[in-house]
Amino acid sequence: MALLDEQSLLERVLAHVEGGTTGLSDGVWREPVVHYTSPERLKSELALFRTLPLAVCPAASLPDAGSYLARDIAGVPILIVRGQDRTVRAFRNACRHRGAQLAEGAGCKKTIVCPYHAWTYGLDGRLRGVPDEHGFPGLNKDDHGLVPVSAFERYGLIFVNIEGGEGPSPVLDQMGEIIGPAFKVISDTVREVPANWKLIAEGFLEGYHIRHTHPETFFPRQYDNTNVIEHFGSNNRITYPYRVVETLKDKPVGQWVARNVVTSVYHLFPNVMISTHPASIGISVFEPMATDRTRVHSFIVSDMTDTEKGRYVLEKSKELIAAAKAEDRFVVTANQKGIKSGANTHLTFGLFEGAIRHFHQSLAEAIGEP
């Protein structure tokens, strides 16, 4: 399916608002609870992750030559760096001497120096220096550079493919440059959530819960259970209108702009959510750690940091989003506890939850399940 253009999307949104309708799936989906609790299923999911180009951070996380970010991706330590030539590269985060991890967190360096014995690598991964090199007779530096993995910079994001060489699917071109060059990283946080990664992802993919989960945050500003669902490849876009969207009816169609009247959540299969807001864009990356534990990397980027008014609006937006995320964590943690009760053999997703259905169908197909 091709994504709707901005005008067509807003027309669809207004039709739902005026008709009291929402996007519907063509069937109910029942997902086995064992898919949330089975270590073998998680093992298959992580194996899949390692073969796909995964979005790991906004490109703005590496603003300068020498900027680096160390992350575990599908259980594999990876080091991502921006070279002197401005190209983003990724390597397995291990020294070629004794295998020590080379870096943690994020920062900026001219060279990569192992903390164990100070073997030194260039930003291109080449081995540049070995202390007391005479102790390693016959060492060929060209054979001992950092082990590369495929990295790509697209759509204002950085993708890493650990075991494959292919970049992001061209189907993502429909998003355009979703995070433009004017956007800066204003928040970069990591949190461990005691829940399966798929439960966290599901909370982004439907508006059926807005009234009851977000009564003081999103619901006063948005509609309950009113959204447009689109699939593109294995990915989703779910668009949630604000109540101010109705003001568009008083303007010529050619003046309609989506940014201030809807939030669109782009689900980049399998584990990344990009949420557009009037003052910012949020990126959430889910890193499974166990069947009931997920590390969530959250970034907020904005192009409204240059004026006092923009910074004020941005700060208010951050406060609202933080409060809503806390509500989501409460619910998803309760969901995880409920799964362990044994009450259900399957979770049931109704017609309002078509993006979740598409997610599970795509995941099962990618893993190779019948």
Question: What is the residue extent of each domain of the chain?
Answer: 6-51+175-367, 54-161
pLDDT of amino acid 209: 96
In DSSP notation, 298-315 reads EEEEES--SSHHHHHHHH
Q: Give pTM, 2 decimals.
A: 0.96
Give yes or no for a contact between 188 and 106, defined as CB atoms under 8 angstroms apart.
yes
What rounded mean pLDDT belongs to the chain?
Answer: 96
32, containing H or E segment: strand 29-32
pLDDT tens-digit profile of 275-330? 999 999 999 999 999 999 999 999 999 999 988 999 999 999 999 999 999 999 99
Q: Which residue has the tokens 């499974």?
A: 288
Phi, psi at residue 335, to the nearest 5°? Answer: -60, -45
Give the fold, CATH level 3, of 6-51+175-367. Naphthalene 1,2-dioxygenase Alpha Subunit; Chain A, domain 1 (3.90.380)
Share of the chain above pLDDT 90, in %: 96
pLDDT of amino acid 251: 94
Query: Sorting pLDDT into bands at 50, 70 and 90, what band is 370?
Result: confident
pLDDT of amino acid 204: 97
Exposure of 355 by Cβ count < 10 A (0-12 exposed, 13-18 middle, 19+ buried)? buried
pLDDT of amino acid 287: 97
- SS3 assignment, position 337: helix
Give the fold, CATH level 3, of 54-161. Rieske Iron-sulfur Protein (2.102.10)
Mean pLDDT within 244-264: 95
Amino acid at 317: S
Query: Sorting pLDDT into bands at 50, 70 and 90, what band is 107?
Result: very high
Which residues are bridge partners to 77 per DSSP?
Answer: 72
Exposure of 309 by Cβ count < 10 A (0-12 exposed, 13-18 middle, 19+ buried)? exposed
Exposure of 124 by Cβ count < 10 A (0-12 exposed, 13-18 middle, 19+ buried)? middle
